[in-house]
Amino acid sequence: MTLLEFARGPGFQIALALLIVGILWRILGAVAIRFGKDFSKPRGGKQSIRGGLKAVLTYSAPPHELEKNIKFQHYTGYAWHIGLFVVIFLFGPHVFFFENILGFGWPHLPNAVVMVTGIITMAILVTLLVRRMIHPVLKVLNNADDYIAWTVTFLPLLTGTLAFYHLGARYETLLALHILSVELLMIYIPFSKLMHMFMVWPSRFRTGTDFSRRGVEA
Amino acid sequence: MNATTVETLETMRKKAKDAAEPRQLSDEERLERAKEAFLANLDSEMATHLESCIHCGMCAEACHYQTGTQDPRYTPIHKVEPLKRFYRREVDPLRAIRRLFTPKLTFQDLEAWKPLVYDGCSQCGRCSILCPMGIHIQQLIYVTRAGLAAAGLAPDELQGPADEQLRDNTLFGAGSEQLKEKVEELRGKGYDVPLDKDQADVLVLSTSHDFIGDSGTLEATVKVLNHTGVDWTIRSDAFESSNFGFLSGDEAAKKKISERIVNAAIDVGAKRVIISECGHAYPTLRWEAANLHQKALPFDVQSISEFLAAELEEGRLKVEKDDGGNRTWAYHDSCKMGRLGGAIEEPRAVLRAMGIEIKEMESHGRTNLCCGGGGGVILMESAQGLRRKAFTLKREDVDNTGATDVAVSCGGCRTTLETGKAETNWNINIHSLVEMVADRLAS
């Protein structure tokens, strides 16, 4: 079995299984441990669930007076997440990959557009890594997970770009490394802060319902 | 100054410290008690929040202690580290793996976090509004406070009053006797004060601030209540709205102090409990008391600003409009009444009814900046440097409106603003909302 065959076959299956089991384990373990009941009377009898659902969206755009000092971080955060989305879901070969699994596909962007997006995304990630290393607040918060999560997110972008331009090794080898780096990311997600892609929604919802119950928009 | 003076603050600090009971426990016992308190508070909501942090550090910008000092240790989520560490090692679904990488929580850790959790947090909740992950950081910091309090690490200035409230049902030495004296003084001025009625529609809460300082808040409250004609009483055994169990994080004290009010309200058959101008008392009674009581309360809880707004709406309260002179008005939201309470529109409606248009600060309503002294910070001797730095941000926000006068509906905020005013020669007039209404009652 070649490296590429391993990456496309058992490697992918193992990574997918760990990803799914890990995500379910962590979500169930955290979200379903013990629910508290709130006996207080909601303000104006308002449905706090609606406030929670609203907060899922509104936390994406904090009020100006709070956001004004974090604009760089906020917008670069949006930019690289959007970049990553474009690269994963709107790159032709990726769409074909998903089509093979799901049975349906969707339109994709021209390769050149995706490549430029990927390179910009990597540049932002490098900038944010440097910022993480030197920013006084982040230096207080940083731990190993911050750097490992950065690395496993960056590697698929890097290996994918190298594979597309056939840089550094045979295409098959680069493609295998690219797929393996994605599998590394998949395996690491449940063990890391990358779980925020799932946890952010119940977290925003819970805080949103809590504030909404009190008559305050979160 | 009308609210508690700087000298009386010193007196209160001394009384608070003297009231603290010694807690003779070994470091191991303290650590275990902290862990028990953490565990008791860890429900799925807390776990969801603890699982969601991405270490972005944005919450730092919401915190007046961090921005006021530029000291990164005051980053809100960093204050939660002892709780996070406990969660990762003891509760996390991946704890078997996490333990390999997460250092053990020690008593020394708890001690090291005391200045961050108490001095450096007024429990204002602004970080909970900013966090892009929607983490309710204020709640997490409160739970961390609860752990430290269980370990006997709450500052004496907060634990002492909690102990005193439980032990003597007094606060800073003021209890039923002092209330009765105050009532007699008010009766001497011609006010009808229905003290200790068996039954009443409205139970009114006051606070010992009214007896320690030269505050006119209780007199104003009596005047307004009598004007509306509601059937009210104040109970000499359950009038104190402050809950130092909440401020210290002493959960057992919080519950007992809260239950004292709940049971008194049930005893008199109150339909409404009205809280005087005491910020932290509002969310404690309005949002937590029912949960501490473990069932829905048979009465409504209102802040005085909500009561005033409701009575204006019903037409029972009539006020005279004035143009506010040639003054420019601002309104300072108390974090506990506003962001954490929800009484944001009501005080503004009351001001409008009096003909007073306010200029909003840049941070107001749900994003208001704390006065710097909330959450008991104004009382803690060790926190005064931080409090002053946070106050400068508040002052700047007020000054940017061009305000000559600031209205406020929280005794604690008022004391902090008055203290900052005295310390910085701030040219501003600070007013209690209920006293403003009492001065403008239509005849």
Partner residue facing B136 (CB), from A29, A35, A207: A207
pTM: 0.96
Task: Determine the residue of chain A that is closest to B41 in CA distance.
Answer: A36
Q: List pLDDT tens digits, range A140-190.
A: 999 999 999 999 999 999 999 999 999 999 999 999 999 999 999 999 999
Considering the domain boundaries, does residue B369 fall inside one?
A: yes
**Residue A180 to chain B, least CA–CA distance (Å):** 23
Q: What pLDDT sits at residue A36?
A: 77
Beta bridge partners of B431: B407
Binary contact (B344, A41; C-beta < 8 A)? no
Given this model, what pLDDT does residue A44 score? 80
Do both B259 and B305 map to the same domain? yes
Task: Tell me, yes or no, whether B122 and B240 share the same domain.
Answer: no
Rounded distance between C-alpha atoms, residue B273 and residue B40, angstroms: 29
Q: Show which of B279, B314, B349 is a domain's final residue.
A: B314
Q: What is the largest CA-CA distance in chain B?
A: 73
Q: Please state the φ and ψ torsions of residue B330, each to the nearest 5 degrees.
A: -130, 160
Query: Is A72 within the bounds of a domain?
Result: yes
Q: Is A59 on the interface with B (CB under 8 A)?
A: yes
Q: Would residue A160 count as lying in a domain? A: yes
- For chain B, how many helices (H) and strands (E)? 22, 7
For residue B58, the chain A residue with the least C-alpha distance is: A70
Contacts of B382 (CB under 8 A, 6+ apart): B115, B119, B155
Q: Are A27 and A189 in contact (CB under 8 A)?
A: no
Q: Is B325 left (phi over 0), alpha (psi -120 to 50) or beta?
A: left
Cβ distance of A65 and B362 shorter than 8 Å: yes
CATH number, domain containing residue B340:
3.40.50
Let me know whether B273 and B366 are in one domain: no
- Structural domains of chain B, count: 3
Instruction: Using CB atoms, pick whichever of A34, A137, A204 lies closest to residue B44.
Output: A34
The answer, for A61 touching chain B at a CB cutoff of 8 Å, is no
Please indicate, yes or no, whether residues B174 and B289 belong to a single structural domain of this protein. yes
Q: Measured between beta carbons, which residues in chain B are less than 8 angstroms from residue A136?
A: 70, 72
Of B72, B92, B366, the CB nearest to A136: B72
- Given B151, B179, B213, the domain boundary residue is B151
Q: Is the pLDDT of residue A88 over 50?
A: yes
A 98-157: CB under 8 A from B: 135-146
Residue by residue, DSSP assigns A27-69 as: HHHHHTS-PPP--SPPGGG--HHHHHHHHHHHTTS--HHHHTT
- ipTM score: 0.95
Say which of B43, B131, B289 has its CB closest to residue A36. B43
Q: What is the pLDDT of residue A171?
A: 95
Place of tokens 């509306």: B228
Of B31 and A217, the one with more pLDDT: B31
**Domain co-membership, B278 together with B416:** no
Q: Name the 3-class secondary structure at B213.
A: coil
Give the per-residue pLDDT at B2: 45
Element (H, E) at B135: none
Cβ neighbours for B370, distance < 8 A, ≥ 6 positions apart: B64, B122, B124, B126, B335, B390, B394
Task: Choose from B133, B143, B282 for mutation: most chain A CBs within 10 A.
Answer: B133
Helical H segments across B151-238, by residue range: 156-168, 176-188, 209-212, 217-228
Q: Range of B342's domain? A: 329-439
Could you tell me if residue A93 is inside a domain? yes
Chain A neighbors of B54, CB-CB under 8 A: 193, 196
Range of the domain at A135: 3-21+65-213
Whole-number Å distance between alpha carbons of B345 and B340: 13
pLDDT of res. A69: 87
Is the domain of B66 the same as that of B175? Answer: no
A30, A59, A63 ranked by CB distance to B51: nearest: A30
φ/ψ region of B169 (left if φ > 0, alpha if ψ in -120 to 50, else beta) reads left
Euclidean distance between CA atoms B360 and B305, whole angstroms: 18
**B295 and B405 both lie in a single domain:** no
Residuewise pLDDT in 10s, chain B (443 residues): 444 566 688 989 999 999 999 988 999 999 999 999 999 999 999 999 999 999 999 999 999 999 999 999 999 999 999 999 999 999 999 999 999 999 999 999 999 999 999 999 999 999 999 999 999 999 999 999 999 999 999 999 999 999 999 999 999 999 999 999 999 999 999 999 999 999 999 999 999 877 666 678 999 999 999 999 999 999 999 999 999 999 999 999 999 999 999 999 999 999 999 998 999 999 999 999 999 999 999 999 999 999 999 999 999 999 999 876 789 999 999 999 999 999 999 999 999 999 999 999 999 999 999 999 999 999 999 999 999 999 999 999 999 999 999 999 999 999 999 999 999 999 999 999 999 999 999 97
Are B140 and B268 within one domain?
no
Helix (H, G, I), strand (E, B) or coil at A136: helix
Contact B76, B123 (CB under 8 A): no
CATH number at residue B145: 1.10.1060
In angstroms, rounded to a whole number, what is the distance separating the alpha carbons of residues B300 and A201? 32
The fraction of chain A above a pLDDT of 90, given in percent, is 87
What's the one-letter identity of residue B59? C
Residues B193 and B299 occupy one common structural domain: yes
What's the CA gap between B274 and B346, in Å, rounded?
A: 14
Across the interface, which of A59, A63, A77 has its CB nearest the CB of B134?
A: A59
The answer, for A30 touching chain B at a CB cutoff of 8 Å, is yes
Q: How far does the CA of residue B280 sit from the closest CA of chain A (Å)? A: 14
Question: Nearest chain B Cα to A30, which residue?
Answer: B47
Instruction: Give the distance from residue B170's alpha carbon to the nearest chain A alpha carbon, in angstroms.
Output: 27
* Residue burial B323-354, b: 16+ Cβ < 10 Å; e: rest: ebeeeebbbbbbbbbbbbbbbbebbbebbebb
Out of B314, B338, B354, pick the residue that ends a domain. Answer: B314
Beta carbons of A25 and B50 less than 8 Å apart: no
Taking an 8 Å cut-off on Cβ atoms, the answer to whether B129 and A33 are in contact is no
Residue B293 with chain A: CB contacts under 8 Å: 39
Specify whether B208 is located in the same domain as B334. Answer: no
Chain B hits for A74, Cβ within 8 Å = 58, 132
Q: Give A-chain residues touching B50 at CB under 8 angstroms.
A: 30
How does pLDDT run across A40-63, given as a tens digit for each residue? Answer: 999 987 768 899 999 999 999 989
What is the CATH number for A70? Answer: 1.20.950.20
The answer to whether residues B376 and B346 belong to one domain is: yes
For chain A, positions 170-199, list CB contacts with chain B under 8 A: 190-191, 193, 195-196, 199
